[in-house]
Amino acid sequence: MPEPILSIRNLSVGFRDTETKEVINVLRDVSIDVPADHILGIVGESGCGKSVTMHTVMGLLPRTAVVTAGQIRYDNRDLLGLNPVQMNEYRGKEIAMIFQEPMTSLNPVYRVGDQIAEMLELHQDISHKDALAEAVRKLELVSIPSPEKVAEQYPHELSGGMRQRVMIAIAMACDPKILIADEPTTALDVTIQAQILALMKALKEKMHSSIILITHDLGVVAEMADEVVVMYAGDVVEKALVVNLFREPSHPYTTGLLKSLPMLHSSDERLYNIVGTVPSPRNFPEACRFAPRCEFVHDRCLVERPRLVRIAPDHEVACWLRVAQGAA
Ligand SMILES: Nc1ncnc2c1ncn2[C@@H]1O[C@H](COP(=O)(O)OP(=O)(O)OP(=O)(O)O)[C@@H](O)[C@H]1O
Ligand SMILES: [Mg+2]
């Protein structure tokens, strides 16, 4: 794998209980590398820590959050060591994010053009008039028809798909090196979803930027990503190039996710469901966090935590089963 431009190393993050003041750990030793010009998918059920990981990268954790360990290196600097003013310079310019809830990140009382212009003015020495003209060009870039007209409109006047294109225009306004897209298409219908994903991929190819794509949907990963990180209950349980992951899924959780993919099954076959649900962080098991749901669980899984081991070039898994099979 080429040299990463973003490197998350052993990141652990918790939240302080406002009453007991106890810190409940959510992420445990998360390590993720993002090379340049690369699409990395992050998958895992709800509550696995995908958004918390990326909010940490963006310096956008709430005040109750505590980073208990780890480093996030970008461009040879530790982002966790930056003060808020320094972080503001990175956010949007070097690393931009499209959030899970589009309407909360578009400001309803500002025209679309002004919102893109604001991003440009924040990071570039540019007049408001020039920024507005540039905003129209950014809308063109995300294939919005009649961009001059849309620049004058308010977010609520646009369809869901158009709003998502505006979000991408804002995120890409300053040509960031990394775009983090947190479930960018879940609220959209399937055809629009495909258009938005294709647009993101086309922009990435044009700008040679990287995308971190968070999704529940392994089908989207197969379509879009070069590499996948599978998260479960705040742990990275498997990392692999997409081809390897689909050819040889190695963590029982990944296998379960793949078996529950509708497109891999004929219509008369019942869809597989991984038994149980992700526990709440208060009840995360100490050793293997997937053990209570795993059909291959054995004694070691309950007492000793499995670490990621390399089982092939560009393929790592954290599971005692693989170690027992001589994977390390
Ligand atoms: N502000 C917060 N205070 C306390 N706990 C939080 C906070 N934000 C997130 N968490 C907890 O952290 C864990 C990870 O949450 P996160 O939002 O990262 O999950 P996710 O993988 O993005 O899920 P989804 O797919 O539903 O978006 C969850 O158990 C969640 O309840
Ligand atoms: Mg999330």
Sequence-distant (6+) residues with CB within 8 A of 136 are 113, 147, 148, 151
Q: Domain 4-94+176-324 belongs to what architecture?
A: 3-Layer(aba) Sandwich (3.40)
* Cα-Cα-Cα-Cα dihedral sign, residues 241, 245, 246, 247: positive
State residue 328's pLDDT score: 45
Is it the case that residue 280 has pLDDT exceeding 90?
Answer: yes
Residue 34 Cβ inside 6 Å of ligand 1? The answer reads: no
Q: What is the pLDDT of residues 1-12, one digit of tens each?
A: 678 999 999 999
* Closest-approaching ligand to the CA atom of 231: 1
Burial class from Cβ neighbours inside 10 Å (0-12, 13-18, 19+) for residue 285 reads middle
Return the closest-CA partner of residue 30 out of 45, 50, 46, 47: 50
269 C-alpha to ligand 2 centroid (Å):
30
Per-residue pLDDT reduced to its tens digit, 93-112: 999 999 877 667 789 999 99
Each residue's pLDDT tens digit, 63-87: 999 999 999 999 889 999 999 999 9
Q: What is the DSSP letter of 155?
A: G
Backbone angles phi, psi at 142, to 5 degrees: -95, 20
pTM of the model: 0.93
Alpha helices in 142-270 (DSSP H): 147-151, 160-172, 190-207, 218-224, 242-247, 252-259
Question: What amino acid occupies position 175?
Answer: D
Asked if residues 15 and 39 have their Cβ atoms less than 8 Å apart, the reply is: no
* Ligand 2 mean position, distance from CA 41 (Å): 13
pLDDT tens digits for 162-208?
Answer: 998 999 999 999 999 999 999 988 778 888 888 899 999 999 999 99
Ligand nearest to the CA of 52: 1
Answer yes or no: is the C-beta of 50 below 6 A from any ligand 1 atom: yes
Of 53, 55, 50, 63, nearest to 23 by C-alpha is: 63
Our answer on whether the CB atom of 62 is closer than 6 Å to any ligand 1 atom is: yes
Mean pLDDT of 231-259: 96
Q: How far is the CA of 189 from the centre of ligand 1 (A)?
A: 25
Tokens of 114: 């002004």
Of the ligands numbered here, which is closest to the C-alpha atom of 215?
1
How close is the Cα of 55 to the center of ligand 2, in Å? 10
Kindly give the number of the ligand 1 atom that is closest to the alpha carbon of 100.
27
Atom of ligand 1 nearest to the CA of 231: 21
Cα(174)–Cα(210) distance, integer angstroms: 14
CB of 64 closer than 6 A to ligand 1? yes
Please check the confidence at residue 130 and state whether its pLDDT lies above 80: yes
Nearest bound ligand to the CA of residue 53: 1
To 10 degrees, the CA torsion angle through 54, 58, 60, 61?
A: 40
**Atom number in ligand 1 closest to CA 52:** 18
User: What is the structure's pLDDT at 264?
Assistant: 52
Ligand 1 pocket, residue 48 CB under 6 Å: yes
